[in-house]
A and B are shown apart, each in its own frame.
Chain A
């Protein structure tokens, strides 16, 4: 099918974008278009105004500042994947991106677009949740910073308002040598995951865990941190780790049911995948030299 008619706008600057968002009704922002265009072609949505932000140059780029790694919202997934800063500072994000779509969709798709669209099984917003990212949003009243814990308002619903746009995603890297693990199950490489998981750990010189993040995604409507299980890992020796409490926590989630799988099977996957992610995080942890 074809997209219904709309008015097309192509702002060149953030200010022009802000002005359009302030004045237009039933407008949608077109970022990489890899989710919005299918939805328009399928006529799931029919905006009156389409605001194409692909020509706003200063929404693109990756840089490291004192406050963390800043990724412009319009940075293409392919460019995040090939970035040296991401590889060395946010290896979990890079690892997850290998599972995002295909070369054609990564060439257009943007990290900001995925984080605003919020498909429950999308890897990028999920990794932002695992890494406690901050979302820098611009609106009529200026800038505000939304922590990842407040970004996910529900299925396909982020905290960005109708008159606002996402500028930057800022992520504080974990300590050098930290352990990171990612696992997902999809019917075909690059397809939307049926379920996935991520784990991050830091340890002291005695190889006991000092910091942990555990996340399941594609299981509930939004990515879910397993906070109690994270707290339970603190102080545990990484070489004699009992993963069962973590697995049980993932298996207790309120899993979705859909045309592909039952809720029971999704809970089963959540347990299997968090175990794999945690194992990988222990394996990637660099030994103190």
Chain B
């Protein structure tokens, strides 16, 4: 069941000049959210902006009944959202979309490939994976790429999770010089057999295109989280579709309904 609620913001944090984190209070949404799900937020009651904006769920505090969204200020909608204050209530739909498939009793190693804002949903995934992996039976690697080291987010939280993070920056200011996908290719050379690895990825469209090509080339077991303009967010408008299936025999799937999580081998991004 999709929940539509007016819910209060309980904290707003400017993580950096261009990144913001909002924490909402909604025990129902917090309880029912899984990594990969998103919420559709009405930013204003007037017509500016008119349409809701979709945000991955970044974190939940189930005991406190909260969930967070983490976003980059890129346009007028996110700018207005970044100025919201604690106590203000917003109309939110959620949780929406499908979720990452969490390996329950899997012995596979897990690689999370993150580009930029892709950290928003993949941090939620990483924390759930760690919660299910108390015995440390599986190895979780996070490959995290950004343009410049100032754009790394959630560093303390990632440290607290205790997973191995390998950093990449396009300008070489920290870690591997290059993109997250280049780092992924370099790292995965050590894996003799990709069948033993499960990959989850989220990042900008160009990066996910590369990941889906790698997934086909190396027959990876890889799930990616897509984003798109979503007028309705609930599957009614057919506005947010992605090519899905075989290259010459595809159909359009709705990112908001059949996604946003897809098998990387099955989507065709332009």
**A and B: interacting chains:** no
Identify the B interface with A (CB < 8 A). Answer: none
